[in-house]
């Protein structure tokens, strides 16, 4: 077999951005007075700048494999004593070209792709001379596996992200990573790299972290990384340097076998806790890891290829690529419907109406990110002082955690001030309110603010459920009002729903989008419709589950019915976290706007009226065995039509399909992609659901309810034949 045998696969992807393999011969520096010989250094380079990462598609792999086969022949002829692989600045290589892999059609093509990788990497691992990976920068998935398949590895202290993110993407590290890594760094750390990190917001390793784990044998600074790596390779080849590899294990050792089993079990528990096993990939990673302890590398390779071919056919994988690449990486950076940013007005001072908890969070974010003066107002000095003190305290916490420097802390604190008079807003360019969620209160606030500020000053509301249109009604300049809806906790959640009311003008909207970017938030443009996107969908979901519960479905059945979706938390836990009164308040607004699709639960109201903050006893949730206290049960009454978990799941699927269908026909957002982006960034919904619409498409809910799918074939599903 040779890489060229895969040309049939490569020709199917004529538009691949090929990462080329350039070879340079280097005379190795002398060790003890003699050069060990000639070293062939392969550079992986797509010829594009750092904004276009190098990736591995079929054409790239065929070229690399062919180059390596040539080097294998030269090694056999004694012309070279070693081979190195490195990348263009900032990248070793970013991993498999996901767009290509996603569009692989049919299992056979997927299998070819998997086998092609193994063919190429096996050449690298069996050149007849030692191979070296110089990990100069980012190395993800198949990129890091190039390094793992090499005999030796150096890493740069400046290397950005090293990871095997396949479990997150919906695949397995199936080009040898799952076999080599546990042997190199021990099974526990391998599970950390292959399971825990990918499932923890796709966390990656820095160069020094990778070195500490034993992923690399030597570490050098970026300023002369290639020079030092080559010099190190010379010493290894000359036999004067031998990496220690303290973390490496022998899987045949009974003690290691025990550790191996323990690591796999811990991994399975982690996957269950994080994803409810709603996506197949993480468990498959652990299956292969568990099985390959007693396998040869070739046996493992066969299993890896078959597993990869299976997983490439899953919609969980395709949905993740859609969510990750098309939405988070691309659409989030170029929000649909945002006006030309040239229309944006400068914002040099911000006002925050209110000094409560939400106002404080907003003031902190605005001051830290925009670095402009932020003034908070409230009705009395005590509240103002409390708000400013809260912000200063948060800054001190950041300072104590060394997240910011003392100078930055001083600067941020100095930027945040308070006043009992809205006169302080006179020279503000942007004033946002975070007062009580009551239309008349907000209208009154804006009336007072408008009397003070310039006609160009933008007014923003952080309302989660009220009508922005109604808020603008009595304004002198209704065109200046925009909805600016953050998610709690403000500092953490990446989504911002920017709400356009009918009269909001383009300059105001453009400023809002530029501000969002300045705040490092991903903004989605939404029409003014009750509860906008995230809360409307969440409450529709919670409303259905609560209704099933109220009708007589046992609490554990109702609350666990959605486990196959792998959501970050159950509906009852979410309700308690949001706060039952807040959730109920939004539900009432939605009920008012949309009627019975959003039923208001009498049972929940009873809990709220009696000061109960959670359906479950919070302590029992923490302990992992949720139960409802007798006193809580006594407050509620139930119907006698119990549903099964399957019934509730299907009911929620259909309800979501209906609601999203309506939202799209109302024009709340530009398309289903924005719904998905909102649910990923605003609610933390998993990428293997693709947000939500790919999931509703694949379980049939879209067609059951709306008679058609939300997304065309191939976007987050198998490409049309």
Q: List interacting residues with another protein (CB under 8 A).
A: 20, 22-24, 26-27, 29-30, 41-43, 45, 47, 86, 88-89, 221, 223-227, 230-231
* DSSP conformation letters of 528-585: S-TTTTHHHHHHHHHHHHHHHHHHT--HHHHHHTTGGGT-SS-HHHHHHHH-HHHHHH
CA distances from 658 to 350, 563, 643, 708 (A): 40, 21, 20, 11
Judge contact between 425 and 375, C-beta under 8 A: yes
Nearer to another protein, 73 or 227 (CB): 227
CB of 29 to another protein, least distance (A): 6
Taking a C-beta distance cutoff of 8 angstroms, is the pair 535, 465 a contact?
yes
Task: Give the 3-state secondary structure of residue 94.
Answer: coil
Nearer to another protein, 30 or 240 (CB): 30
Give least dist CB 45 to another protein, A: 6
| Pick 20 or 203: Cβ nearer another protein | 20
CB of 42 to another protein, least distance (A): 7
Structure tokens belonging to residue 114: 């998997």
Write the CB contacts of 603 (distance below 8 Å, at least 6 apart in sequence). 546, 549, 550, 635, 636, 637, 638
Q: How far is the CB of 285 from another protein (least distance, A)?
A: 33
Is 38 or 202 the residue whose CB approaches another protein more closely? 38
Query: Is residue 542 within 8 Å of residue 683, measured between CB atoms?
Result: no
Distances (CA, A) of 308 to 60, 108, 610: 19, 11, 54
Of 86 and 412, which has the nearer Cβ to another protein?
Answer: 86
Least Å distance, CB 671 to another protein, is: 39
In whole angstroms, the minimum distance from the beta carbon of 53 to another protein comes to 16
Taking the least distance from each CB to another protein, the nearer of 47 and 502 is 47
What phi and psi values does residue 557 have, to the nearest 5 degrees? -65, -50
3-state helix/strand/coil string of 329-389:
HHHHHCCCCCCCHHHCCCCCCEEEECCCHHHHHHHHHHHHHHCCCEEEECCCHHHHHHHHH
> Phi, psi at residue 2, to the nearest 5°?
-145, 170
Q: Least distance in Å: CB of 558 to another protein?
A: 60
Apex 207 CA angle, 326 and 188, nearest 5: 90
Q: Is 703 exposed, middle or buried (0-12, 13-18, 19+ CB in 10 A)?
A: middle
Rg (CA), the chain: 29
In the complex with another protein, the residue whose CB is nearer, 43 or 412, is: 43
The whole-angstrom separation of Cα 367 and Cα 414 is 9
Least Å distance between CB 89 and another protein?
Answer: 7
CB-wise, 136 or 546, nearer to another protein? 136
CB-nearer residue toward another protein: 92 or 499: 92
Closer residue to another protein in complex, CB, 92/434: 92
Q: How far is the CB of 24 from another protein (least distance, A)?
A: 4
CA 155 – CA 604 distance, rounded (Å): 56
Q: How far is the CB of 398 from another protein (least distance, A)?
A: 23
- CB distance 512 to 481 below 8 Å: no
Question: At its nearest, how many Å lie between another protein and the CB of residue 136?
Answer: 9
Residues ≥6 apart with Cβ < 8 Å to 599: 543, 546, 547, 591
| 427: CB partners within 8 A, 6+ apart | 349, 454
Q: Which is nearer to another protein, 18 or 416 (CB)?
A: 18
When the beta carbons of 82 and 282 are compared against another protein, the nearer one is 82
> CA-based angle 503:508:512, to the nearest 5?
125
- Closer residue to another protein (CB): 230 or 565: 230
Least separation in angstroms between CB 227 and another protein = 5
Task: Number of helices (H) and strands (E) in the chain: give both, helices first.
Answer: 31, 17
Q: Which is nearer to another protein, 230 or 663 (CB)?
A: 230
Q: Closest CB to another protein among 43 and 587?
A: 43
Minimal distance in Å, beta carbon 157 to another protein?
10
Answer yes or no: are the C-beta atoms of 465 and 384 closer than 8 Å.
no
61 or 309: CB nearest another protein: 61
602 close to 584: Cβ distance less than 8 angstroms: no
What length is written for the chain? Answer: 721
Contact predicate 173/195, CB 8 Å = no
Query: Sign of torsion, CA 125 131 135 138?
Result: negative
Rounded to 10 deg, the angle between the 534-551 and 645-666 helix axes is 150
Task: Kindly tell me which of 88 and 422 has the beta carbon lying closer to another protein.
Answer: 88
Name the token pair of 470.
Answer: 């109604």
CB of 48 to another protein, least distance (A): 10
Angle of the 534-551 helix axis to the 602-609 helix axis, nearest 10 = 100
Report in angstroms how near the CB of residue 228 gets to another protein at its nearest: 9
Q: How far is the CB of 39 from another protein (least distance, A)?
A: 9
DSSP sequence for 483-509: EEEE-SSTTT--EEEEEEPTT--HHHH
What's the sign of the alpha-carbon dihedral 241, 245, 250, 253? positive
Per-residue three-class SS string for 394-409: HHHHHHHCCCCCHHHH
d(CA 285, CA 282): 5
Q: At what angle do helices 381-400 and 406-415 cross, to 10 degrees?
A: 160
CB of 271 to another protein, least distance (A): 40
Using CA atoms, how far apart are residues 184 and 181, in angstroms rounded to an integer? Answer: 5
Q: Which is nearer to another protein, 26 or 426 (CB)?
A: 26
- Least separation in angstroms between residue 226's CB and another protein is 4
């Amino acid at each position: 077999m040779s890489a060229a045998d895969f040309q049939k696969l490569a020709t199917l992807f004529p538009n691949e951005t090929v990462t080329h393999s350039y070879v340079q011969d280097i005379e190795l520096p002398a060790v003890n007075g003699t050069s060990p010989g000639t070293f062939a250094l392969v550079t992986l380079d797509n010829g594009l700048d750092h904004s276009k990462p190098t990736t591995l598609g079929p054409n790239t792999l065929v070229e690399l494999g062919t180059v390596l086969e040539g080097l294998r022949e030269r090694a056999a002829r004694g012309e070279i004593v070693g081979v190195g692989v490195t990348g263009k600045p900032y990248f070793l290589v970013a991993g498999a070209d996901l767009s290509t892999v996603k569009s692989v059609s049919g299992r056979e093509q997927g299998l070819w792709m998997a086998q092609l990788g193994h063919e190429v990497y096996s050449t690298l691992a069996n050149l007849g001379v030692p191979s070296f990976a110089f990990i100069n920068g980012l190395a993800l998935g198949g990129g890091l596996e190039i390094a793992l398949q090499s005999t030796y590895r150096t890493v740069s202290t400046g290397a950005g992200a090293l990871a095997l993110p396949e479990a997150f993407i919906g695949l397995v590290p199936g080009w040898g990573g799952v076999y080599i890594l546990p042997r190199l760094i021990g099974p526990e750390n391998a599970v950390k790299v292959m399971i825990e990190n990918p499932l923890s917001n796709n966390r990656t390793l820095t160069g020094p972290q990778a070195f500490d784990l034993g992923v690399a044998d030597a570490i050098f600074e970026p300023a002369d990384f290639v020079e030092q790596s080559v010099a190190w390779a010379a010493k290894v080849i000359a036999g004067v340097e031998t990496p220690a590899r303290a973390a490496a294990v022998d899987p045949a050792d009974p003690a290691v076998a025990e550790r191996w089993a323990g690591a796999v079990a811990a991994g399975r528990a982690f996957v269950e806790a994080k994803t409810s096993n709603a996506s197949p990939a993480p468990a498959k990673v652990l299956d292969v890891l568990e099985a390959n302890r007693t396998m040869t590398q070739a046996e493992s390779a066969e299993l890896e290829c078959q597993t990869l071919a299976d997983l490439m056919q899953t919609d969980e994988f395709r949905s993740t690529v859609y969510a990750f690449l098309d939405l988070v990486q691309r659409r989030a950076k170029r929000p649909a419907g945002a006006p030309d940013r040239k229309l944006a007005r400068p914002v040099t001072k911000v006002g925050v109406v209110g000094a409560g908890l939400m106002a404080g969070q907003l003031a902190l974010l605005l001051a830290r990110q925009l670095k402009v003066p932020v003034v908070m107002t409230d009705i009395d000095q005590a509240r103002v002082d409390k708000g400013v003190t809260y912000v200063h305290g948060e800054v001190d916490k950041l300072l104590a955690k060394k997240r910011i420097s003392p100078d930055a802390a001083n600067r941020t604190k100095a930027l945040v001030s308070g006043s009992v008079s809205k006169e302080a807003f006179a020279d503000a360019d942007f004033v946002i309110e975070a007062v009580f969620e009551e239309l008349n209160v907000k209208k009154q606030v804006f009336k007072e603010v408008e009397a003070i500020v310039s006609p160009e000053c933008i007014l923003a509301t952080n309302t989660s459920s009220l009508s922005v249109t109604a808020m603008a009604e009595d304004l002198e300049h209704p065109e200046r009002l925009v909805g600016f809806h953050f998610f709690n906790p403000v500092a953490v959640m990446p989504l911002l729903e920017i709400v356009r009311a009918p009269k909001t003008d383009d300059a105001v909207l453009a400023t809002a989008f530029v501000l969002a970017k300045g705040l490092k938030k991903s903004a989605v443009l939404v029409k003014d419709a009750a509860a906008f996107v995230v809360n409307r969908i969440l409450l529709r979901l919670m409303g259905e589950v609560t209704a099933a519960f109220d009708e007589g479905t046992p609490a554990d059945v109702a609350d666990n019915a959605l486990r196959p979706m792998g959501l970050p938390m159950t509906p009852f836990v979410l309700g308690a976290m949001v706060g039952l009164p807040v959730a109920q308040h939004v539900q009432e607004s939605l009920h008012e706007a949309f009627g019975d699709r959003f039923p208001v639960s009498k049972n929940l109201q009873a809990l709220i009226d009696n000061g109960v903050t959670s359906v479950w006893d919070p302590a029992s949730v923490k302990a992992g065995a949720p139960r409802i206290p007798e006193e809580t049960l006594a407050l509620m009454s139930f119907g006698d039509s119990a549903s099964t978990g399957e019934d509730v799941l299907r009911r929620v699927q259909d309800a979501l399909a209906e609601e999203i269908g309506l939202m799209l026909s109302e024009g709340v957002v530009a398309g289903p992609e924005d719904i998905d982006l909102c649910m990923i960034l605003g609610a933390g919904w998993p990428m293997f659901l693709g947000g939500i619409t790919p999931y509703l498409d694949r379980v049939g809910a879209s067609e059951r309810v709306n008679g058609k799918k939300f997304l065309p074939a191939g976007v987050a599903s198998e490409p049309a034949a």
